[in-house]
Amino acid sequence: MDTIHLSIDGIDVEVKKGTTVLETANHLGIDIPTLCYAKGINHSSSCRVCLVEVGTRLIASCTLVAEDGMNIRTNTEKVRNARKTTVELLLSDHNQECPTCGRSGQCELQNISKRLNIREVRYTGEKSKTLVDFSSPAIVRDTSKCILCGRCAGVCDNVQTVHAIGFTGRGFNTTIAPAYGKPLAESLCINCGQCIMVCPVGALQERESIHEVWHAIADPNKFVVVQTAPAVRVALGEEFGLPMGTRVTGKMVAALRRMGFDKVFDTDFAADLTIMEEGTELLTRLNSGENLPLMTSCCPGWVKFVEHNFPDMLNLLSTCKSPHEMEGAMIKNYFAEKMGIDPSRIVVVSIMPCTAKKFEGQRDELSNHGLQDVDYVLTTRELAKMIKEAGIDFDRLQGETFDNPFGEGSGAGIIFGATGGVAEAALRTVFELVAGKELETIDYKAVRGMEGIKEAEIELPSGKLIRTAVVHGLGHARKLMQSIQSGAKSYDFIEVMACSGGCIMGGGQPFIDPQTQGEVNVKLERAKAIYAEDKALPIRKSHKNPDIIKIYEEYLEHPNSHKSHELLHTHYIRRKQF
């Protein structure tokens, strides 16, 4: 028998075998509160908030598999009192400085406390020893807010396979930390921020640079330039109550100007630049047969993952800097020369969907003449905070356009924000560079979609097949790398994004509450917006961007030239394998 029958709160229901009581209740529209549960990430039933009454017993519904004839009650006095007691006990050892917490208003513990009508914490006693770890340039870990739900360890272990943090200690001394109690900066952490996205409280947050950016804008001796990644424009609106996947490109530009930035540029321009450099690099490697497969280097989390876990394969990474680092280099060199501005006066701020970009911005390998290519990285969330702090009514803004010379991006640059986008953008250009003619169809749908590993073969006019793989989520990336090492798989070109879904689901994007996650396919809605913007643009290929053509004529000469390598390419380092 493939189905079973049970009753929840007097409602008879038929479900498939193996379905949990929590899933069954959700199907019926019965909302059982949870804190530790995260589908596909953590199913530990450790928080005990999702308790339901089965006969005389209280059992956690997230791991309770439904059985035939069960009679479940989710709203008895016994259940409500047990849930309240559980949450009060969590609050008794929790840092309750809610008004100043970065998650205030978006905190699941705060919301459940309100929902359960908790007005006091009846339990007092010894507090756990806590610390705030500021060692990482990307992520702050505050154990005073941790409720030991295990979600962060779950996503780090089960999804990303990074294993940077986990449970340590016993009993009252239990905490979640890197191995041997080391600071986060000395761990295997790749700064992807997926732990931040699943943390229900404020125990993990990005390391903010808001104050430093406001200070730079206020300094009359600084020329402050901002650039925005493609994934930001399809998510920022969520912070202001707009529907999932709303494109707010023009409003975002207008807000940035009102905030006081001297120039507002589009990182899509540098995405096109990346394709020119990376596409040429791919053709060079295909002709020589060396250092294949070429693996993309746009994602700093992925790059650090290779540096830690597969250092013998670093030669396969593209030497191209990521798009925002390329743009930073061009701003402090080409733009500085053109405008007659001392590069040391220029402050480059990148608005990214990603926390790993904060780490990337500080890498010594991403600098020129003693100046970092990018000075500050702000997440989508940080930008939203600054807009609100500035008193800007985002919804009422009229759309504005980016500044030149780095304001014109193609559709190929836009789709960098979704998994498969870099591969598709590269293939659009590589095919036409080799063929010397226009493509009839430029939508490479074989590399789109949300499968963890996608494979495709693209035939060039010469008859050469480019064997391509597109991967998102580092658990999938690890499997692919191991299959290449063993010889089981062979490719020419591989795109990897550390976050599941790509940059649209980066660790710096707006938080999505559990209820919305259950009702809306967030990846799909944001990806649809990315591809819609691509379709709407008159230029959809990187090599057709007139500003890209101009910058090679005026400054860079040609892709992979000596000047290009000096400014737009980099190298990588071996890191500790703990």
What pLDDT score does 39 carry? 84
- Give the bridge partners for 265, in sequence order: 227
- The residues, ordered by sequence, that sit 6+ positions from 492 with a Cβ below 8 Å of its Cβ are 282, 286, 292, 293, 294, 465, 466, 467, 468
Active site residue 360: yes
Tell me phi and psi for residue 71, to 5 degrees.
Answer: -120, 105
Judge contact between 275 and 429, C-beta under 8 A: yes
DSSP 8-state class, residue 243: P
Choosing from 46, 113, 209, 318, the catalytic residue is 318
State the sign of the Cα–Cα–Cα–Cα dihedral 426, 427, 432, 435. Answer: positive
Active site residue 495: no
Give the containing element (helix H, strand E) for 379.
strand 376-379
| Alpha-carbon span 31 to 25, nearest angstrom | 7
Composition of the chain by helix, strand, coil, percent to 5: 40, 15, 40
- Token digits for 252? 């975002």
Instruction: Kindly list the domain boundaries of the chain, sorted by start residue.
Output: 3-90, 128-207, 211-568
- Strands 204-206 and 139-142, how do they pair? antiparallel
Q: What's the CATH number for 211-568?
A: 3.40.50.1780
What pLDDT score does 578 carry? 63
- Give the bridge partners for 15, in sequence order: 4
| Alpha-carbon span 228 to 206, nearest angstrom | 18
Give burial (CB, 10 Å; 0-12/13-18/19+) of 100.
exposed
Q: Please list the alpha-helical segments (H only) found in 171-298.
A: 194-198, 210-218, 249-259, 267-288
Active site residue 288: no
* b/e 63-80 (16+ beta carbons within 10 angstroms → b): bbebeeebebebeeeebe
What pLDDT score does 516 carry? 84
| Alpha-carbon span 232 to 403, nearest angstrom | 17
Active site residue 78: no
| Alpha-carbon span 564 to 319, nearest angstrom | 11
What pLDDT score does 438 carry? 76
What pLDDT score does 43 carry? 82
C-alpha pair distances (Å), 334 with each of 326, 404, 542, 565: 11, 13, 19, 14
Give the containing element (helix H, strand E) for 380.
helix 380-389
Sequential pLDDT tens for the chain (578 residues):
589 999 999 999 999 999 999 999 988 999 999 999 888 888 888 899 999 999 999 999 999 999 999 999 999 999 999 999 999 999 999 998 999 999 999 999 999 999 999 998 888 888 888 999 999 999 999 999 999 999 999 999 999 999 999 999 888 889 999 988 899 999 999 999 999 999 999 999 999 999 999 999 999 999 999 999 999 999 999 999 999 999 999 999 999 999 999 999 999 999 999 999 999 999 999 999 999 999 999 999 999 999 999 999 999 999 999 999 999 999 999 999 999 999 999 999 999 999 999 999 999 999 988 999 999 999 999 999 999 999 999 999 999 999 999 988 899 899 999 999 998 898 888 888 887 777 767 787 888 889 999 999 888 777 888 999 999 999 999 999 999 999 999 999 999 999 999 999 999 999 998 878 878 899 999 999 999 999 999 989 899 999 999 999 999 999 999 999 999 999 999 998 76
* Domain 128-207 matches domain 211-568 at the CATH topology level: no
Q: Name the pTM for this structure.
A: 0.95
Choosing from 107, 298, 299, 354, the catalytic residue is 298
Active site residue 503: yes
Choosing from 53, 206, 277, 278, the catalytic residue is 278
C-alpha pair distances (Å), 415 with each of 273, 492, 535, 542: 14, 21, 10, 11
Q: What's the CATH number for 3-90?
A: 3.10.20.740
The architecture that CATH gives domain 128-207 is 2-Layer Sandwich (3.30)
- Give the bridge partners for 496, in sequence order: 471
What pLDDT score does 469 carry? 95
Choosing from 277, 307, 503, 544, the catalytic residue is 503
Judge contact between 229 and 194, C-beta under 8 A: no
Give the containing element (helix H, strand E) for 54.
strand 51-54
C-alpha pair distances (Å), 144 with each of 12, 140, 185, 328, 371: 43, 12, 19, 37, 37
Active site residue 553: no
- The residues, ordered by sequence, that sit 6+ positions from 251 with a Cβ below 8 Å of its Cβ are 237, 394, 395, 397, 398, 399
- Give the bridge partners for 14, in sequence order: 5
Packing angle between helix 300-309 and helix 474-486, nearest 10 degrees? 40
Choosing from 321, 357, 358, 541, the catalytic residue is 357
Closest CA to 467 of 318, 282, 300, 305: 282
What pLDDT score does 376 carry? 98
Closest CA to 183 of 196, 165, 201: 165
- Strands 294-295 and 346-352, how do they pair? unpaired
Choosing from 23, 239, 360, 382, the catalytic residue is 360
Choosing from 239, 281, 327, 432, the catalytic residue is 281
What pLDDT score does 57 carry? 94
Choosing from 337, 365, 519, 554, the catalytic residue is 365
